[in-house]
């Protein structure tokens, strides 16, 4: 099935005849017809300053998926003798992301299935092995639920040209849901105040707000979500909060701040997000792991949860492709 994955100002990511196709050198704000797909590129956002890639829900060590409360549709596993699917999906995503030549790579949680040392080691081998010191990472609930001390740095600051990323640890030992401490909230405010650049805050758990409901997930608790918004609204250079955890693409605008979820690497759609920091905006594109083996696993897992997973995980095109404002603090 041919489909549109995401559209930038001058590029597009498509699925054409079961392969991922990247179109480059398109003109902003123009319409293209290709293989029955019609799409319009985003409006001009100026020259490229830097590029950030972010993955989440990579789940090294996981051996079956598709089970959720009630086990709708049954679990999927790789055939005996095949590589574990987290290896297949992450190897492909890293290879694809490396071709974008990112200035920074951020992995925002669920690095492992259960926080085991060998699972974390497999994560490091893949990601640090590919990106070296360009990669930063933080834990999610899968890393913290059964284990402690895995990737639990409370707050990290990553600067690229034109953008400051504040990466926060929202996971807590033994808990599925997420939290932000007073120290972390103060740290976010301080880090935003200390730069004139645009800021995106990243963590594993999505915020839960009246405008961005939990939809059945145990995400960030509502008190801390609102406390974050109070900080973000006071610092006009904070333009977005991006997370994983829900394994779906979603974007909701709340008080001028984009609340973003990005789908998982480890199964359908094999997603990772690219942020192109441009002179007049930050363009998000979602990519899909493109190797033959990755696409094959993604196709198998797209039918999980009684066939509902495909639409749920992909969201709408406007959940995947958009331009964030490049607001500065002054």
Q: Name the segment binding Fe ion (CB under 5 A); options: 55-63, 177-185, 249-257, 315-323.
A: 55-63
Q: How far is the CB of 204 from Fe ion (least distance, A)?
A: 8
Instruction: Identify which of residues 57 and 197 has a Cβ nearer to Fe ion in the complex.
Output: 57
Distance CA 153, CA 188 (A): 14
Q: Name the segment binding Fe ion (CB under 5 A); options: 20-28, 54-62, 112-120, 158-166.
A: 54-62
Closest CA relative to residue 237, chosen from 330, 104, 106: 330
Distance CA 21, CA 189 (A): 40
119 makes contact with Fe ion (CB under 5 A):
no
CB environment 200-232: b (16+ within 10 A), e (fewer)? bbbbbbbbbbeebebeebebbbeebbebbbebb
Q: Which of residues 23-42 bind Fe ion (CB under 5 A)?
A: none
C-alpha of 70 from chain center: 27
Return the residue of 10, 51, 57, 241 that touches Fe ion, per CB under 5 A. Answer: 57
Q: How far is the CB of 219 from Fe ion (least distance, A)?
A: 11
Instruction: Identify which of residues 110 and 224 has a Cβ nearer to Fe ion in the complex.
Output: 110
Q: Which of residues 97-116 bind Fe ion (CB under 5 A)?
A: 110
Given a contact cutoff of 8 angstroms between Cβ atoms, the answer to whether 104 and 132 are in contact is no
Instruction: Identify which of residues 51 and 172 has a Cβ nearer to Fe ion in the complex.
Output: 172
Instruction: Identify which of residues 312 and 327 has a Cβ nearer to Fe ion in the complex.
Output: 312
Instruction: Identify which of residues 197 and 267 has a Cβ nearer to Fe ion in the complex.
Output: 267
Q: How far is the CB of 229 from Fe ion (least distance, A)?
A: 24
| Residue ranges binding Fe ion (CB under 5 A) | 57, 110
């Amino acid at each position: 099935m041919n489909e549109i994955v995401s559209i930038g100002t001058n590029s597009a990511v498509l699925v054409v005849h079961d392969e991922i196709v990247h179109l480059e050198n398109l003109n902003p704000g123009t319409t293209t017809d290709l293989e029955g797909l019609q799409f319009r590129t985003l409006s001009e956002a100026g020259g490229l300053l830097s590029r950030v890639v972010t993955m989440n829900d990579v789940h090294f060590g996981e051996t079956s998926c598709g089970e959720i409360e009630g086990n709708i549709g049954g679990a999927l596993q790789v055939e005996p003798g095949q590589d574990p699917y987290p290896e297949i999906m992450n190897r492909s995503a890293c290879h694809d992301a490396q071709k974008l030549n990112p200035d920074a790579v951020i992995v925002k949680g669920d690095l492992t299935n259960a926080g085991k040392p060998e699972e974390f080691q497999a994560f490091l081998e893949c990601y640090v092995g590919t990106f070296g010191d360009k990669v930063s990472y933080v834990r999610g609930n899968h890393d913290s639920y059964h284990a402690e001390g895995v990737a639990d740095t409370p707050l990290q600051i990553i600067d690229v040209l034109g953008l400051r990323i504040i990466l926060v640890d929202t996971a807590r030992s033994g808990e599925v849901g997420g939290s932000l401490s007073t120290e972390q909230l103060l740290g976010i405010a301080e880090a935003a105040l200390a730069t004139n650049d645009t800021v995106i805050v990243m963590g594993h758990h999505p915020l839960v707000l009246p405008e961005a409901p939990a939809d059945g997930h145990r995400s960030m608790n509502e008190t801390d979500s609102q406390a974050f918004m109070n900080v973000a609204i006071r610092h006009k250079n904070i333009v977005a909060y991006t997370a994983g955890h829900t394994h779906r693409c979603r974007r909701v605008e709340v008080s001028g701040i984009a609340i973003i979820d990005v789908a998982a690497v480890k199964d359908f759609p094999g997603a990772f997000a690219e942020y192109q920091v441009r002179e007049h905006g930050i363009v998000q594109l979602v990519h899909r792991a493109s190797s033959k083996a990755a696409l094959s696993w993604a196709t198998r897992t797209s039918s999980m949860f009684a066939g509902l997973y495909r639409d749920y995980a992909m969201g709408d095109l406007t959940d995947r492709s958009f331009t964030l404002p490049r607001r500065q603090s002054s």
